[in-house]
Structure 1
Amino acid sequence: MNIGGIFLALQGAVSQGILWGVLVLGVYITYKILDIADLTVDGSFALGGCICATFVVGYGMNPFLALIISTLSGMIAGAVTGFLHTVFEIPAILSGILTQIALWSINLRIMGKSNIPLLKSKTIFSGFMELTGLKSSQVSAIIGILIAIILISALYWFFGTEIGSALRATGNNEDMIRALGVNTKMTKMIALMLSNGLVGLSGGLVCQSQKYADIGMGTGAIVIGLAAIVIGDVLMGRLRSFYSRLTSAVVGSIVYFLIRAIVLQLGMDANDMKLLSAVIVALALCVPVAINKYRAKRMYTEGGDENA
């Protein structure tokens, strides 16, 4: 077994996990706070990557500016889903599916072909590599950590504001917060735009890190996001602060990609990764429920014995 190869693979997994962690933060907003599994994610992630690659390669745009446009494009995709859900009252999951399907064709139109390489283009990572002399995975990890810290801090601040608190309350009890005079349609729209904006940013970051954008790069993104959130909950579930919960989303993403890297190094076929992702999510969701049922049954049995 090549120890050096395993170390490099794990190093790459950590850097990818951090960059995908930005996507997981977006999924956390809709899944954990708003209680919606937003399937727009698969399309908006690819949208962010496709737009970033198109502007950097086709127009020679500054890679930082391209990331901003990727973020805005993700927000527009989220707004479309929010519009379908809040104005036309289409169920959230179906609204996400409709937007995701439409984005496939839109992404292909944007790129003009199925993929765009960035091998000869400057990215935010290549400039830092030239400046420091570090490896690609190391630079990706450093920049990813800085971006993650900034985003987690910004989200922590935002959700402590009046509108952020209303957004969280919408997910907890929509009827109550509506009775207090809050426009829940607006809070849902903001949440979906914010979520998909982060997803689009993640798509742009991953695109620049891996040096190419592909029409199918967002396939299964929602599954990865859910898996990372569940893993983060299992690892850091006892930490109650909101800042810790946001951090757990990124930590879960890193652990998820480490698991994938280890399994691939052990010889698993790369074509089976989707199956592995589904198994990880299913186990992470089922195990806590099974444990709680076992504990409840045990407490009930012990109580029955005492009464007897």
Structure 2
Amino acid sequence: MEYVNLILSALSQGMLYAPMAMGVFIAFKILNTPDLTIDGSLVFGMTVCAVVTIASHPILALVAGTLAGALAGFVTGFLQTKLRINAILAGILTMTGLYTVNYMVLGGQSNLYLQTAETNESGSEVFVSSNTIYKMFSSLFPGLDTNANVLLLTALIVAAVAALLCVFFKTRPGMAIRATGDNEEMVRSSSINADASRILGIVLANGLVALSGSLLCQQQRYADLNNGSGMLVVGLASVIIGQVLFGRRSVTLGVISAVAGSAAYRLILQFAYKINMPSYAVKLLSAVIVALALTLPLAKQKLAIRKARKEARKGDPV
């Protein structure tokens, strides 16, 4: 039973971060753009979601948080395409500016809990927990475990988002984004607005990242300015693990592999915690996972070359 709860917890966390993994996949794999806005846009989605959730609009809070991340992506895309600022530097500039914006959204504090102050019958002030989508869902299925509740609802949301993404990338705007990532010069020569396609791709990627932040905010019931630290590495680890598991065949499979990679990454972390790995070593583990996953294709290629050479030697006449 202990391992069942561990797996449920890992999968629920994996689903919460799955939209971020899909966003990283769009930016790094489809657009071939090193977008460093991700750490800031995740927190931007989280902070906006927290404020709107406290105002008693939990569903609208997810939409508002996603749009906030999309706005951050638009700023990065604008800096890249219209002001011709280097992609890495544009992401750093937006991420740096978002720290102040997020601080302002939280009312000048570093964190904000999803609760409101109310006066009870005796005249004392008490804090009441704000309503969230997970609280609403658990009221419909009171028999579900907390982790199972989070996993089921988040998986439904992720499945819907993944399906919409797969359909979108088969439309004209989606194909234009894919073509821009493959060969931007060819796209420009074909009279397609490559700048608009690039901006749209970055907007979409950061909107998905912010959706992860919004879901995470409602699941953990607070927003914190430091939650975005290292999220880019986590997203890359998820995408690379997914591609190692599924390969690189199509955009649809890439979206699915990003979701699966997010779940697999969280499972790895959970079992690492099981062997009493200290929490401060998580980022190092993430970096090691990314490094190992990046070297796997090269290792496979070398093994294939060695195998081919051995077969060629066997076939040579004596």
Task: Work out whether the TM-score is over 0.5.
Answer: yes
Matched, 1:7 2:4: yes
Q: Note the C-alpha offset of 1:210.
A: 1.1
Match among 284, 295, 299 for residue 286 of structure 1: 295
Q: Could you say what secondary structure the match of 2:228 adopts?
A: coil
Q: Note the C-alpha offset of 1:304.
A: 7.4
Which amino acid in 2 is paired with 1:259?
I
Q: 1:162 to 1:273 in 2, by over 3 A?
A: same
Matched, 1:39 2:36: yes
Counterparts of 2:305 and 2:183, CA distance in 1:
26
Q: 1:302 to 1:7 in 2, by over 3 A?
A: closer
Q: 1:216 to 1:307 in 2, by over 3 A?
A: farther
1:224 matched to which residue of 2? 234
1:93 matched to which residue of 2? 88
2:57 matched to which residue of 1? 62
Q: Could you say what secondary structure the match of 1:28 adopts?
A: helix
CA contact under 8 A between 2:233 and 2:286: conserved in structure 1?
A: yes
1:105 matched to which residue of 2? 100
Match among 155, 159, 162 for residue 145 of structure 1: 155
State the identity as a percent. 42
1:247 matched to which residue of 2? 256
Runs of 4+ deviating beyond 4 Å: 300-305
Q: Note the C-alpha offset of 1:297.
A: 5.0
Counterparts of 1:193 and 1:108, CA distance in 2:
22
Q: Note the C-alpha offset of 1:62.
A: 0.9
Q: Note the C-alpha offset of 1:143.
A: 1.2
Match among 247, 250, 259 for residue 237 of structure 1: 247
Match among 21, 24, 33 for residue 21 of structure 2: 24
Q: Could you say what secondary structure the match of 1:9 adopts?
A: helix
Q: Note the C-alpha offset of 1:298.
A: 4.9
Q: 1:181 to 1:301 in 2, by over 3 A?
A: farther
Q: Could you list the per-position Cα deviations for residues 11-51 of structure 1 after superposition, in whole angstroms to 9, with x for gaps in the alignment?
A: 11111101100111111111110011211000000111111
Gapped regions of structure 2 (runs ≥ 5):
116-128
Q: Note the C-alpha offset of 1:80.
A: 0.5
1:115 matched to which residue of 2? 111
CA contact under 8 A between 2:47 and 2:224: conserved in structure 1?
A: yes
CA contact under 8 A between 1:10 and 1:262: conserved in structure 2?
A: no
Counterparts of 1:290 and 1:100, CA distance in 2:
35
Deviates more, 1:278-287 or 1:149-158: 149-158
Query: What are the residue-to-residue correspondences of 1:266-277 with 2, within 5 Å?
Result: 266-277=275-286
When normalised by structure 1's length, the TM-score is 0.93
RMSD value, Cα: 1.7
Q: Note the C-alpha offset of 1:236.
A: 1.3
Q: Note the C-alpha offset of 1:116.
A: 1.1
Matched, 1:261 2:258: no
CA contact under 8 A between 1:11 and 1:137: conserved in structure 2?
A: yes
CA contact under 8 A between 1:47 and 1:73: conserved in structure 2?
A: yes
When normalised by structure 2's length, the TM-score is 0.90
Q: Could you list the per-position Cα deviations for residues 103-127 of structure 1 after superposition, in whole angstroms to 9, with x for gaps in the alignment?
A: 1121111102111112611100001
Matched, 1:209 2:205: no
Matched, 1:161 2:171: yes
Q: Could you say what secondary structure the match of 2:112 adopts?
A: strand
Which amino acid in 1 is paired with 2:242?
G
Q: Note the C-alpha offset of 1:76.
A: 0.5
Q: Could you say what secondary structure the match of 1:187 adopts?
A: helix
Q: 1:297 to 1:91 in 2, by over 3 A?
A: farther
CA contact under 8 A between 2:244 and 2:296: conserved in structure 1?
A: no
CA contact under 8 A between 1:71 and 1:197: conserved in structure 2?
A: yes
2:66 matched to which residue of 1? 71
Counterparts of 1:283 and 1:158, CA distance in 2:
32
